[in-house]
Amino acid sequence: MGLLLLLIQFVKARSRIVKDYLYDNDEHPNRFTMVFLLLFGLSCLFPLFTQMGWPFLSVAVALTLFSNALIGMVSFTALLTAACLLAAAPVHVFVMYLICGICAVTLFSVLDDSFRVEMPIILSCLVYITSMCANTVIVRNSNLSFEMFVIPVISLFLNVVLMLMLLWYINTRVVRREKNRYVEINDPEYALMARIKEKGMTYYYHAIHTAYLCNKIASRTSVDTDIVRACGFYHEAGILLGENTKENLMAVVRVEYKFPPEVCDILVEYKKNGRFKHKETAVLYMSAMVVDTLMELFAEDPKAKVNYKELIEEMFHKQTVKGRFLECDISIHDMTQMKKILMEENLYYDFLR
């Protein structure tokens, strides 16, 4: 047990470094600690009940959703081990719950932004009831009877109820709140956009045009629309404090307005002006470069004739030669689509004149 608890601390430290927590769990580390301690106390009480009725399926889901797959799996194993040791449970009980937990952790750790939980619930329940029934039949090694399946069915019902309550909480208090935050900051009338507009219409229009191109590209690629659109709006917000340096930009979006960490990370990467790591950074950089170049050209000569395709092709060629995309997680398909979309916006570019 002591080794497992140390392992939990190790994987938590690792997740803080690589930033692979689910949702906003990295911003609330104490939330997982409180959930773990609560479930640890409850797990110590499980031995007071029949071994076939322990609600470890919902425990695995809770630990995963409040951290990530790796932390959820290690912490779940620690609680399961504690309960089995206290109850002197046989190995087959441990293995049965471990299999169910692995399935639950795997299924619920890959939920996307739509938070569609129907299939994960159904599949995890199927694995759970199958394992429970198989364990009951094999261990007892006797003829089937209705009484043999009463406890597994009751246990399944309890797990489903607990999971639904947990998922409702996560959806309303975490997922929807995050979505609502993006809806708020991606509004052109948001308070920070109003400040940028007051600073100068050039900055404002640059932000609007960049966000438009980012959104257009994201709608036809695997790029996160909410993140890249927010980055398009606020990648020059640092001008409110003077120059648009990385420090000034973070002072505005991270410290003052507390933007989502994903947006801040992309903006920091963008300001480093080096090789891209994330596809959102690549989209932001190329969109902002197109807008910058065209606004400068049209400022000098509003009637200038521009071959947009050649100009954008040259931009991509220069960035490719510099090795900007070498370490980026953008696919060839998304790269091709990004270039194609930027070349197709001929009519829109006339608004930049």
Q: Note the pLDDT of residue 39.
A: 95
Tell me the C-alpha distance between 302 and 37, whole Å. Answer: 65
Tell me the C-alpha distance between 334 and 221, whole Å. Answer: 5
Cα–Cα separations (whole angstroms), residue 192 to 9, 227, 240: 39, 16, 10
Residue with more model confidence, 17 or 351 = 17
Tell me the C-alpha distance between 257 and 235, whole Å. Answer: 14
Tell me the C-alpha distance between 286 and 166, whole Å. Answer: 41
Neighbour-count burial for 145-158, b at 16+ CB within 10 Å, e otherwise: eeeebebbeebbee
Specify whether the CB–CB gap between 25 and 66 falls below 8 A: yes
By CB atoms closer than 10 A (0-12, 13-18, 19+), residue 276 is buried
| Residue 122 scores a pLDDT above 60 | yes
| Residue 213 scores a pLDDT above 80 | yes
Q: Note the pLDDT of residue 53.
A: 87
| Residue 254 scores a pLDDT above 60 | yes
Question: Tokens in use for 24?
Answer: 């906003």
Question: Mean of the per-residue pLDDT values for the chain?
Answer: 90
Percent of the chain exceeding pLDDT 70 equals 97
What residues does each domain of the chain span? 2-181, 188-352
Specify whether the CB–CB gap between 249 and 267 falls below 8 A: yes
Tell me the C-alpha distance between 11 and 71, whole Å. Answer: 6
Query: Which tens digit of pLDDT belongs to each residue from 70-83?
Result: 999 999 999 999 99
Tokens 């790029």 sit on residue:
223
Residue 60 confidence class, pLDDT cut points 50, 70, 90: very high
Specify whether the CB–CB gap between 200 and 160 falls below 8 A: no
Tell me the C-alpha distance between 269 and 249, whole Å. Answer: 12
Tokens 């398009």 sit on residue:
232
**CATH for 188-352?**
1.10.3210
Tell me the C-alpha distance between 312 and 330, whole Å. Answer: 18
Query: Which tens digit of pLDDT belongs to each residue from 230-250?
Result: 999 999 999 999 999 999 999
Tokens 């002006």 sit on residue:
273
Tell me the C-alpha distance between 153 and 217, whole Å. Answer: 49
Residue 351 confidence class, pLDDT cut points 50, 70, 90: confident
Overall pTM surpassing 0.85 (yes/no): no
Tell me the C-alpha distance between 198 and 154, whole Å. Answer: 62
- Picking from 60, 48, 57, 55, the residue whose alpha carbon sits closest to that of residue 89 is 48
Residue 144 confidence class, pLDDT cut points 50, 70, 90: low
Specify whether the CB–CB gap between 40 and 8 falls below 8 A: no
| Residue 142 scores a pLDDT above 60 | no
| Residue 194 scores a pLDDT above 90 | yes
Specify whether the CB–CB gap between 207 and 233 falls below 8 A: yes
Residue 113 confidence class, pLDDT cut points 50, 70, 90: low
Cα–Cα separations (whole angstroms), residue 209 to 12, 179, 237, 279, 306: 40, 23, 15, 19, 18
Q: Note the pLDDT of residue 81.
A: 94
